[in-house]
Amino acid sequence: MSPIWLYLHFPNLQLNTLFSGNTGSHETLPVVVLDAKKNQVCQRNGSARKLGIQCGMGLATASSLSQQLQVVSYCREVEESQLNVIAETLYQLTSDICFFQPDGLALRIHNMLNLYGGLQPYWNMLREHLTRLHIEYQASTAWSPLAARVMARNQINTISDQRDNIKTALGQCTIDSLDIHNKDKQKLKRVGLHTVADIVALPLKDIARRFDSYLVTYLGRLKGELHHPLPFFHPPEYFYRYLELLYEIEKTDTLIPPVKRLLNELESFLKIRNHTTSELTLTLYQRDHTPLEVTLGSAQCEYRAQSWLKLLSLKFESVTLTAPVYAISIRVDKLQELNPVRQDMFAGKQAQISTLQLRAILEAKLGASAVQQLCYVSEHRPEYSQKQVPLSDTDVDAASVDILPDRPGFLLSEPLPLQEKVTVIRGPERISTGWWDNQQAVRDYFIARNQFGQLLWIFRTPHNYWYQHGLFC
């Protein structure tokens, strides 16, 4: 099968990233991204385009066309981060993805067409994934990644596996659209080569007689006659997303919408891998202050964004910002395979949330240290045989419940004198201990039943006094 490459060019990647999922004045106001080093507009929205603002235009010229012009500084890191997000999304359809930083991806797709039933069904599926990302793009196919790149960057959106169609579309591009040095472009024009069609028509050996090895190599790769080694994308093992906010936020409840966006990306990341997580770390970057880290855990491993958002909303009630937040990030290092909870369909009506979900809600609301459990310890005195530990504490010196005698489910805070008639049904169980800490206990314990049929846990002292210490529930 002849090689087919698909190139995706994202002309407004930073703008799309900043405004994705947001509505407001940016839809009507002209917005541009300015490359401060070159003092040139490199991206623009639809409103700026209608006013005649062009890419490559200086800030002074662009500002003269609109008094309401909004300017955003260009940040290469934002585009590279978003390009990784796009690659992770498209990895579901194609494994051979190459980066052309900072605004392009090349996909080797000819080995995937049989799986999807042809180029058009594959393209329809890929276009659906791109639509969900709300990102502008130009797309073209060709026999080499460089040929597809030239067409996509020139807004020639040709999706075809027919070589003649690709050749015709590529031939429309001028020499100026090639990624070569300006001096090489002038040399090509001086010998009468003005379009890509002129170059494609020439044998590579004829070009090699007049031009240096760099240009020959580039043109050979463009025509698909020379091998073009490219590193392929490998999805990361862990999740990390960074989002710079459109404006500074001073209240935690206002952070919910941008956090929800990152959680949706986390959900997609986990679903693709069939994984869940029990913990995530949200970092709030505060102006002129140390970043604030908020660690959120869930006893029942989750992947759904809505579940994490509920927990985070409760957690935010106890979080105080010391300065306005200008950016946020989410990091997840602990991943686990998804094991769905099995429920018996004949078990009747179930609670709306599970025990683990309730625990996660309480820990988010009150803090992990406030949600505790009773644990048996190695101590024969009943009042000291249990202690409270956090639910998350698994390193506890606990005695096995199976080896302990019968103990009541409810233990009184302190023994009370027995003041009713009872019938002893089991006992005695003698406890004589505590001599080493001056809290010696010598007691004979019995299980007894009172006149109401309740089972009591009682004991007798060496002085023949009787006390009630617990109640079997």
Task: Write the secondary structure of 245-259 as one string of H (helix), E (strand) and C (coil).
Answer: EEEEECCHHHHHHHH
Q: Convert the pLDDT of each residue in 97-122 to its tens digit.
A: 999 988 999 999 999 999 999 999 99
Assigned token pair, 84: 């990784």
Q: Is the peptide bond before 102 cis (omega within 30 degrees of 0)?
A: yes
Distance CA 247, CA 428 (A): 73
Q: Which of 221, 220, 119 has its CA nearest to residue 162?
A: 119
Q: Residue 24: pLDDT above 70? A: no
- No. of helices (H) and no. of strands (E), the chain: 15, 19
pLDDT at 22: 53
Q: Could you tell me if 285 and 328 are in contact, meaning their C-beta atoms sit under 8 angstroms apart?
A: yes
Q: Can you tell me the distance from the alpha carbon of 223 to that of 148, in angstroms, rounded to the nearest whole number? A: 10
Query: Can you tell me the mean pLDDT for 435-447?
Result: 85
Spatial separation of the C-alpha atoms in residues 280 and 267, rounded to whole Å: 12
Q: What is the pLDDT of residues 337-375, one digit of tens each?
A: 876 555 555 555 555 566 666 767 777 677 767 777 777
Grade residue 146 by pLDDT with cuts at 50, 70 and 90: very high
**Residue 96 reports pLDDT greater than 50:** yes
Structure-token pair, residue 128: 């659906």
415: β partners: none
Contact 34, 71 (CB under 8 A): yes
Q: Which residue has the higher pLDDT, 317 or 369?
A: 317
Helix axis angle for 145-153 and 163-171, nearest 10°, is 50
List, for residues 321-333, the tens digit of each pLDDT value: 889 999 999 999 8
Find all residues with CB under 8 Å of 435, minimum gap 6, and list them: none
- Domains, the chain, with CATH or none: 5-29+69-223 (3.30.70.270), 255-337 (3.30.1490.100), 376-472 (no CATH)
Is 354 or 464 the better-scoring residue by pLDDT? 464
**3-class DSSP assignment, residue 418:** coil
Q: In what order do the strands lie in the sheet with 70-73?
A: 40-44, 31-35, 70-73
